[in-house]
């Protein structure tokens, strides 16, 4: 599994999302996902939305995925901090 594959899957499942995925060992990854679809959703719901884009790969080919999920406004605030 590659970071690029995970990024493509998340982007396909959350159209318009900005996704950055990192991971060097092929099973442990970190992703930052910025999406308008997260507006009004709690962090757990946001994470479930991302996990849904990866389906059965979670817990299999992807052993661990650390997530940071933000709306565009939250991402802008974080960038200014």
Which is it for strands 28-34 and 18-22: parallel, antiparallel or unpaired? antiparallel
Q: Catalogue all structural domains in the chain, each as residue range(s) with its CATH number.
A: 3-75 (3.30.300.90)
The three-state secondary structure class of 80 is: helix
Structure confidence by residue, pLDDT tens digits, 3-61: 999 999 999 999 999 999 999 898 899 999 999 999 999 999 999 999 999 999 988 88
Contact 50, 31 (CB under 8 A): yes
Q: How confident is the model at residue 71 (pLDDT cuts 50, 70, 90)?
A: very high
The whole-number pLDDT of residue 26 equals 87
The whole-number pLDDT of residue 27 equals 86
The whole-number pLDDT of residue 13 equals 97
CA–CA distance, 81 with 46 (Å, rounded to integer): 22
Whether 81 has a pLDDT exceeding 80, the answer reads: no
The whole-number pLDDT of residue 29 equals 94
The whole-number pLDDT of residue 63 equals 87
């Amino acid at each position: 599994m590659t970071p690029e594959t995970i990024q493509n899957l998340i982007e396909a499942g959350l159209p318009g999302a900005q996704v950055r995925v990192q991971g060097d060992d092929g099973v442990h990854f970190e992703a930052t996902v910025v999406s308008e679809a997260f507006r009004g959703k709690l962090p757990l719901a946001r994470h479930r939305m991302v996990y849904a884009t990866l389906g059965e790969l979670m817990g299999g080919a992807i052993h661990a995925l650390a997530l940071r999920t933000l709306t565009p406004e939250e991402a802008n605030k974080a960038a200014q901090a």
